């Protein structure tokens, strides 16, 4: 900053500082309003839901888990049928858990398992 030597320069410097202070005050008020709006409960819920919906990894995980559970349930119903022996009823939940966890795994694991099963059956013929 320069040395002020006259009253005119002092008045000019004061006016410049007042303008700068007014601009910064206005920016501070705008930032405060934006922060206040973003912290409202409705806006917090909206932003959280938008993050969840836009996350491709979460959607993939939910779809994989749902597909695994459905496949496990169907495999248990097919294995046990309408009525099953006690042994089938004991093995049903184990089969359901195994199929569910296998299908819910990342897609590469499912592909490797499918290739392995296909090669085993194809090799026996």
Residue 51 maps to a domain: no
Among 49-58, 68-77, 102-111, where is mean pLDDT lowest?
102-111
Tell if the pTM clears 0.75, that is, is over it: no
| 18 plus 76 within the same structural domain | no
Residue 1 maps to a domain: no
Average pLDDT over residues 1-23: 91
| 68 plus 115 within the same structural domain | yes
* Long-range pairs, 28-34, Cβ under 8 A, ≥24: none
pLDDT at 62: 74
Mean per-residue pLDDT of the chain:
78
- Sequence length of the chain is 125
33-37, 67-71, 103-107, 110-114, range with greatest mean pLDDT: 33-37
| 41 plus 62 within the same structural domain | no
């Amino acid at each position: 900053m320069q040395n002020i030597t006259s009253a005119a320069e002092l008045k000019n410097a004061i006016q410049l500082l007042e303008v700068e202070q007014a601009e910064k005050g206005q920016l501070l008020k705008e930032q405060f309003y934006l922060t206040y709006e973003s912290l409202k409960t409705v806006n917090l819920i909206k932003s959280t839901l938008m993050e969840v919906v836009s996350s491709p990894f979460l959607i993939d995980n939910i779809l994989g888990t749902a597909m695994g559970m459905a496949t496990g349930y169907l495999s248990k119903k097919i294995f046990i049928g309408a009525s099953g022996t006690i042994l089938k009823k004991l093995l049903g939940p184990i089969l359901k858990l195994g199929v569910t966890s296998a299908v819910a795994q990342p897609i590469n694991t499912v592909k490797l398992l499918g290739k392995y099963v296909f090669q085993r059956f194809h090799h026996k013929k």
